[in-house]
Every structure is written in C-alpha cells, then in structure tokens.
Structure 1
C-alpha cells in the first residue's frame, strides 16, 4: 500500500497525526512483530501524564484521577494489562509477566479503589494471573469483585448492569463499554472458580445490551441507552464503543465454549457478522475507521481500529467469521501498526470518552497516547503473530 494520510482536521479542530504505510505486513517477520509488541509494552509501562492535562476531576472530593499514567487503577490500565497478558500467553516472556505482577502487587499493597463498572476491568487479567500462578492471595479479590458485580452494583430496568463510574452514577444507563469492563471479567471468574451463576449472568448481560444498543439500520452499536428517558443520547455510532463489542464477542465465546448449535452462540455470531459487515462498508481507504464510524468528517481513530482488527482476525481464525473478512482485518492492522511512532507510542488515540449528548461531543475528544491504545494495538499485533505458530 502506498496511500498517505494527509493531516486530517475535523470541523471541530481535532487533528490527526499524518502517517504513511511504510511497514507492510507481508514484509514483517516473526522477530519484527515480537519486537514491535515488546516496544508497545515498554511504552505502555512508562506512560505518564507529565503535565496533568488529562487528569479527570471527580465531581465531589476536589481531586483528579490520572487515567493516562501506568501506575494507577482504572479501566484504561485494565485493558493495558489484558493486552500484555495476551502477549505473555503467546511468548512466555518473563519480563512481560513481571510487569503484570508488579502492577498488581503495587496496587493491592496500596489498596483497591472504589468498585464500579470500569474499575472492574483489571480483574480479567487477575483471573488469568491467578489461574497461571495459583497465588492464593488473588482469589479473595476475584471473589469480592465478582460478588459486587452480581449483587452490589446498581442495576437498571430489566436488571442491567448500570454503567456507574468514578465520575458519574449514570442512573438507568447501559453502555457498550460494560461488556468489556465488567461482563468479560465476570464470565472469566465464573469459569475459573466454577460459579455457573456468574456465567449465566454474563450471558444475560450480553443479550440485554445487544437488545438496547444495537442499531438495526446499520448493524453497528450506539454508545448508550437510558431507561429513564428511553433514547440513545446523541445516537452516536462511536468507534471505540463498537470495538468493545467486536473484541468481547469472540473473547466471550472462546471462554465459555458453547456447542456449535447453541442458540446464544448462534445469536452472538450473527450479531458479530452484522457488525463486521457494516465495518467493511465504513472502513476508510487507508485502513482505519473514524471515531464516529459513519461520519467521514470525524477524525480517524486508532484504538477502535485496533480493536476491530483484533476482533475480526480472531473471529476469522476461530471460524466465527467467514474468511472473506480477513482482508479488512489485515488492512486495519497494517494502518494501526503504521500509527506507532519510533518510541512505541500509538498515535491518534482518543482520550477517555463519557456519554455524549450529541455527535459533536465525540468529534471534540482530544487525541493522546493512552494505555488502552497501546493494549488494543498489542492485541491486534499478538493476534497476527499467531500466523507464525
């Protein structure tokens, strides 16, 4: 590919960093790919918000949360840990494992934060870490946090997991982010600790979120739904929100191992296929997707694109998706890789994004390197590494 992305300026002034396809996938060896993955990890564990520009104020309490720097506990770092775990699973790299263990040891010694949908995210990796090491101290945390999601977290109408965060209670709201941040960890803990009720609740949450967030016109997903006012807020078909679905469905199905003719499995796979068919339609000529998927005037966004590449390529590999979709996954991956700078930082990643009342809200979100941008790129790179096995 020789397409060059010129400087892309949205109507609201957010500018993409230009990139050129200079590292084609077919020119990368296994060693090249592993080196890229380790560079992504190194940059991830050294991420800091030096200026404090991206620290988010808490409505009460008078202090700000740093979701950009590595040594903190939020969903951003939770996704970062999960990307590293995928790399460790395929390489056995002890340095990567040490980064994960060091993070948990530091955070658990410091004390866990308030439980909510987003702070649940690190529990997914902790469950895999407990399974790998047998370290008994981890089990109590898994049990406590899973019980919170089962019985302690606020619920919406129809008993949905309310997307409560450290910033907002979000009463009566379902967000697609919840599937990645809380439902996947609940399912993994349920399988690991032999708690069938957890797995059944995870299944029900997938069905409920799809029921209220799926856009029947496109096959894509709205960012959120409110039971109180009964609407989809700004009706945004937001990129990263959609990518959580593309990631979560293959991960969930691989985790719970349903029979081929199971009705839930068939339903989730048809949902995924409809979404990927829409992604095929809206993919930019350079391989990325826009932060508002159906709006070519919104900026191109790399974390969502990496999530789509991962979910599509994994879906094809596992037979969840037809092989025809491999090409768009590879095209997306190639574009994502070429948004990694020489320091291993992933460019053109949108900052954390709460619910928007209109589409302009999403167009104005700033771009900056973030732990999840590193990790979602890492997930897609590691998935590509499997072709060498």
Structure 2
C-alpha cells in the first residue's frame, strides 16, 4: 500500500513543481516575477517609483525581445501601470521638487511602452521626467546634481539613472536636437573628468571614484577635484552599464558617440585588470583589494560582466586577444557557482549584494564595508539577469 501511495504522489507532485529553466536569464527573471519583485509596488503593496524596478524592466524588455515570451512584456506593463495613472500622472512617491535622478530610471520603461502600445499616457509620463531635467539643479560646469539634497554633487549612479532616459527620449522625439545630445555627452564626460583617478593617487587602479563635490564642501571631498576617497564597485558598474547602453542609443553621427566610446575603451581594460585573479570577480571597494573586511560583491560584478560582454559584442570594446571576454566568462562562472542558490521550489536566490552605498556620510572604506548584504536584492538580481542575457548571446 505504501509503495502505491508513493507512486501516486510521485505522479502528482511534478505537476505542481516549477522546473528550473536551462537559461539563467530566464531563471532570474521568472524568480523575480514569482516573488513579485519590480512590479511598481513596495513591500507593503503601495505604489513606488523605483530605479531598481526600472533596472529589472530593462532586463525583461531584452528577455522579451530574445524569447518572445509575452509574460515578460505583460509584467513590465503591469508594473508601470502601478505607478502611472490613466491620465499619465506619475505617482508612487514621485515628487518633482525632490530633484532626484533615481526615479528617472523608470523613464525608459515609459518610452518603451509608448513605442509598443501608442498609448498617450506613457508619453505624458515620460514628459514629466524630461521636464524635470530642464530645471534639475546643476554644478557650474553643467553636471546634474545627484539629488537636490546633495549640494553640487555628481555621482556615478546618477548617470545610469538619468542619462539613458535622456538619450532615449532625445532619440525618440528630438533626434535633431544637437544641444540635447551635447548635454548628454557632457554628463558622461564631466563625471569621467572629475572622478577618474590621477596618476599620483593612493591605491590607483585607473578607475573612477564614486562621485565628486564640485563645491568641495562635503566631508569626503578631496582637495584637488573634490572627489570621494574610494572606488566602489556598484557605482562604477552603473556607469559602465550606462556607457554601453547609451552607445546603443546615441547616433554614430553625433560627436558624443566617439566621446563615450573613448571613455569606455579607456576603462574597460582597467575593469578587467581590477578583477581578483583567483575568483575572477570584483571587490566591493575596488581600491582596497584584499583588505580586512572587504569582500567579493555580486551586483557590481554582474554589472561589469554585462558591460564588458555587451561592449565587445557590439564592437565598442576591442578584444583582439580575447582577454576581456575570458575575464567576463570567468567572473560569470564564479557568480553562477557561488551567488546563485536554488530555493528548492524551482526558483533561484541571489546572494552577496550590498544593500546600499551612499555619499551622504564620510565615504570612508569603513563605511562601505559596514553596510550589510541582502538576499535577492533587486539591484543585484536585475544585474545578473542582464549579465546572463549577454553571456547567453556569446
């Protein structure tokens, strides 16, 4: 009787189980969706305009393009509908007067949905963010402040948050607006010039500090250019992803395309060289490799894999000896073997993503390593989705 019962159970249980997909990209996306992540709602079910959701939706868009699975498009649409009323008003905590670049990361979703559906609400929502950029505070050089409360500060994070939208909006509606194209280029270039490490800097690895304060009033601002003291992996990851994504949008005919290409080709080999030789992935604080308390961080590592592989695939990054793709492969294989965990229900979990990194305090090494890591943090999981899409295109 027991054997009969076991046989019956064995025949029933598989129909309720969710099979693990062969694609890590699909597995990451399906797992996020199963948990209700990135759906325009916060943990309490309230509407929330979140850059993390915009990052996931960017990946779901690419996965939809690759697989044709309608459920990914439907999830993007449902999530955006949660933060935009039928008349195009953006709600979910968005306030223009905060002048934060973070919410603008959902803007590419609005532009995509307008392209796909033709519904005017999405154009109206996108116009809201474009109007914010018109009055957003800037440094005397023209760099957008990261947020109103961060006086005169440019952060690498903000380039990903604001300028992919800025570029896509310009391409879609103002393609001949050379002033806008030049401004987008300037955002990238000012960030690069003000935060790139100088030859004589301590712990110089040739990469970009987390941010800078043009007014030199922040506690962490250096005496020379006002930059912060450390190279934080996720901030550089945001910037690297922004470069390859923007190059995909800015027309070759615009001078800015060559400018961004030069920046990417300058930092890509340095990112490759900064990887830990043994594991192949990157340290949380890249300027302090191997120091006590430092660790391999998953979101920045995934972002680098995405940026490097996409950059090589599209011909933006020369890789004549194959070393960049080799480095990205090694890092990706470490990620799947160390940071992807099976939950036993068909879904996957993602580990080792640091919760936050801010320049609101003193920007010290001790600060960065004091921030806890989180399980299934969407900033890291979405980056892994993007990295997996590129890896699977190899």
- TMscore range, shorter length: 0.7 to 0.9
CA–CA separation in structure 2 for the residues paired with 1:70 and 1:275: 40
**Alpha-carbon spacing, 1:71–1:45, altered in 2? closer, same or farther (3 Å):** farther
Deviation for aligned residue 1:268: 2.4
Structure 1's unaligned 5+ residue stretches are 1-30, 50-64
Q: Is the 8 A contact 2:250 2:257 kept in 1?
A: no
1:128 maps to 2:107: no
SS where residue 341 of structure 1 aligns? strand
Q: 1:385 aligns with which of 374, 377, 392?
A: 392
Query: How far 1:134 moved relative to its partner?
Result: 1.8
Contact 1:223–1:237, Cα closer than 8 Å, also in 2: yes
TM score, norm. by length of structure 1: 0.80
Selected match of 2:95 from 81, 104, 114: 114
1:281 equivalent in structure 2: 273
Higher relative contact order, structure no. (Cα contacts within 8 Å, ≥ 6 residues apart):
1
- The equivalent residue for 2:340 is 340
* Residues 1:235 and 2:229 are matched in the alignment: yes
> What do the CA deviations read for 1:176-227 (whole angstroms, capped 9, x no partner)?
0111000111111110112524333211211111111111333211111011
Distance 1:70 1:125 in 2: 19
Would the aligned equivalents of 1:301 and 1:348 in 2 still touch at CA under 8 Å? yes
Identify the residue that residue 194 of structure 1 maps to in structure 2: 174
Give 1:366's match in structure 2, choosing from 364, 372, 375: 372
TM superposition score normalised by structure 2:
0.79
Equivalences for residues 1-389 of structure 1 within 5 A: 32-33=22-23, 36-47=24-35, 72-109=48-85, 111-112=91-92, 113-115=94-96, 116-149=100-133, 151-164=134-147, 169-194=149-174, 196=177, 197-217=179-199, 218-229=205-216, 231=222, 232=226, 234-259=228-253, 264-284=256-276, 285-295=278-288, 296-297=290-291, 298-323=294-319, 324=322, 325-338=324-337, 339-342=339-342, 343-355=347-359, 356-357=361-362, 358-368=364-374, 369-387=376-394
Gap change, CA 1:233 and 1:269, over 3 Å in 2: closer
Bigger radius of gyration among the two: 2
Provide the aligned length of Structure 1 versus Structure 2: 334
**Aligned-partner SS, 2:154:** strand
CA distance in 2, matches of 1:72, 1:345: 23
Structure 2: where are the runs of 5+ without partners? Answer: 1-20, 200-204
CA-to-aligned-CA distance 1:218-249 (integer Å, 9 cap, x gap): 32111110112153454110000111121111
Cα contact 1:77–1:122 (8 A) shared by 2: yes
